[in-house]
Structure formats: structure tokens, C-alpha cells
Amino acid sequence: MTEDIKDQEAGNEEVESETPETSDAATENGADAADNADASESPAEDDAAEDEAAAEDEAAAAEDEAAAEDDAAEDDAAEDDAAEDEAAKDEASDEKDEEAAEAAGDEASEPSASEESAQDHVSEPTASGDASNVAGIAAFFDHPEHLMYAATQARDAKFERFDAFSPFPIHGMDEAMGLGRSWIPWVTFSAGAAGLMTAASLQFGIMGFDWPMVFGGKPFFAWPSFVPIMFELTVLFAGVTTALVMLVAAGCFRKNIIIDKDITNDRFALWIAADDKKFDREQVVEFMKSLNPTEIRTVKKDGN
């Protein structure tokens, strides 16, 4: 009986000794399972992160491609605009060349001086406060043909108060300036008629009515003897009146503006006065430049 009890206790001790070992094994198995679970979850997260990064890369690549397409479209548009501008410039250049050729063929006497030369000699613009002090603008030329061409252009531009100055008379200048017949002959005719009537009135009135006298048996109205006096007074009145009117019309009794002293020597000048109805300083200067003069000068009333 006692031996059975001992065997039973020994068996219980073995069971107790075995139980902790079993629990330790179970704990180890649980840890291994957790590690395996963590290991299985980690690759899945890595795959998801890689997929998300790949999607972001694809989106960035798509944006870059769209931006590149936009840049290419802008470059194409810029190239098209540049081509259009170049074509327009070519057309304008061709038109200018054609106009220059036509002008050279139509106007053989057009001045050959360059426009840059005229621009270098253009006087400084007059201030708006000194506009009333401007007497006019003069353009200078080296040859009489150039002055005649300039006068023709001024006539066609409908300027009224302009003049052409030359050291000597130029044949055809009156026609180039559009001048009609001078009114001075009408003054001469009127003065001569006044002289004739004065002589006839004096002689017929005195000899016929006021103080009639007989000379050599002649009648009171002996008109043949009156002819010399009528002729002399006709010439006297016509000549003196014409001279005075011509001097007044030429401005000899007023202070004249000296444009350039060399005009009486070897220079030719086209003058547009400031009292012309169409006078505008900038427009007149541009018109003068188109004539290709050697110099353009703004002249003031005080001569400076």
C-alpha cells in the first residue's frame, strides 16, 4: 500500500515537472507565430508603398509631358509669329524698293544727298514758348536743279508763303513755284493812264477854258501840240510809280531776315514762312527732309 502511494507521488512529480516545459514550448510557439505574422505583414506594406511611389512617379511624368507639350506649342506659335513678322518686313522692304525705283525714274533731277546729312544739320526744336519768334524754315541745296525740284514739291504741297532764293535767275522757276502773271504791270498801266489823263486835262482845260490864247494862228484845242506833254507825263507817272511799288512789294522798306549770307554767292535755299496757313514746324521739317537738302535751318525773327 505504501509503495503504491509512493509511486503515485512520483507520478505527480513527473507531471508537474513536465507541465512547465509544455508552457514554455507554447510560449515559444506563440512568439514564432507573431514573428511570422510580422514578417508576412512587412512585405505587404513595402509593396503598397512601392505601388504608391510608382503611381506618384507616373503622375509626375504625365505632368512633365504635358508641360513639355505646352512649351512645344508655345515655341511653334513663336516661330509662326516670327515667320509672319519676317514676311511682313520683306513685303515692306519690297514696297519701299519699288517706290524708290519709281521715284528715281520719274524725277531725274531729284537731289542725291542723303537724308542723314539733312538730319545732322537740323537745328534744335524751338520751345513752345518761343514759337511766336520763329520766322520760318529754310532748306539749303547745292544745285539749281535741286532747288527747282524743291520748289515744285512745295507748290504741290499747297504752301502759299514760300520762296526760292538763288544767286542768279533760274529759267523755269516761276512755273516751278506756280507763280502767275505779275500784278506789277497793272500798276504800271494804271499809273501811265493817270499821267496821260493828267496831261490832257491840264492842257485842254487851260488852253480851251481857263486861259485860251492864240499861238501862231492855232485853234484853242490844238491837240497835236499837246501830245509831247501827254507822253512825258505818261512815262513819268508809270515809271516812278512802278519803281516805288516794286520796292515796297519786295520789302525794301522793312527789316528783312537774313537767312544766309552765302545765298548771294553759291547757295540755293527754299524758304517757308511761319505765317503760312499750313505752317507747322514739325510737319515742315519732315517735308524739308523728304527733299534731301544739305541743311535745314529754323530762322527766328531776331536773326539768331
Q: What is the pLDDT of residues 68-99, one digit of tens each?
A: 676 666 666 667 676 677 766 667 666 666 66
Tell me if residue 164 falls in helix, strand or coil: strand
The mean per-residue pLDDT over the stretch 18-41 comes to 46
Residue carrying the nine cell digits 514759337: 131
Closest CA to 259 of 250, 244, 247, 272: 272
The residue with greater pLDDT, 256 or 116, is 256
Q: Is the pTM of this model over 0.75?
A: no
How far is it, in rounded angstroms, from Cα 281 to Cα 123?
12
DSSP result, 215-233: STT--TT-GGGGHHHHHHH
What single-letter amino acid sits at 77? A
**Which residues neighbour 178 within 8 Å (Cβ) at sequence distance 6 or greater?**
155
Residue 28 grid coordinates: 515559444
Residue 221 grid coordinates: 484845242
pLDDT band, residue 103 (cuts 50/70/90): low
pLDDT at 141 over 70: yes
pLDDT for 26 equals 43
pLDDT at 38 over 50: no
pLDDT digits (tens, 9 = 90+) for 261-291: 888 788 899 999 888 888 888 999 999 999 9
pLDDT for 151 equals 93
- Residue 188 CA, chain-centre distance (Å), reads 49
Tell me if residue 87 falls in helix, strand or coil: helix
| Window from 137-141, 182-186, 217-221 with minimum mean pLDDT | 217-221
pLDDT at 13 over 80: no
**Which residues neighbour 264 within 8 Å (Cβ) at sequence distance 6 or greater?**
167
pLDDT for 286 equals 92
Q: Pairing between strand 268-273 and 295-300?
A: unpaired
Tell me if residue 300 falls in helix, strand or coil: strand
| Window from 20-29, 186-195, 196-205 with minimum mean pLDDT | 20-29
- Residue 9 CA, chain-centre distance (Å), reads 129
pLDDT at 33 over 50: no
pLDDT for 8 equals 54
How far is it, in rounded angstroms, from Cα 62 to Cα 74?
18
Neighbours of 29 (CB within 10 A): 10
Query: How many angstroms separate the most distant Cα atoms in the chain?
Result: 226
pLDDT at 128 over 60: no
The mean per-residue pLDDT over the stretch 158-185 comes to 90
Strand partners of residue 141: 268
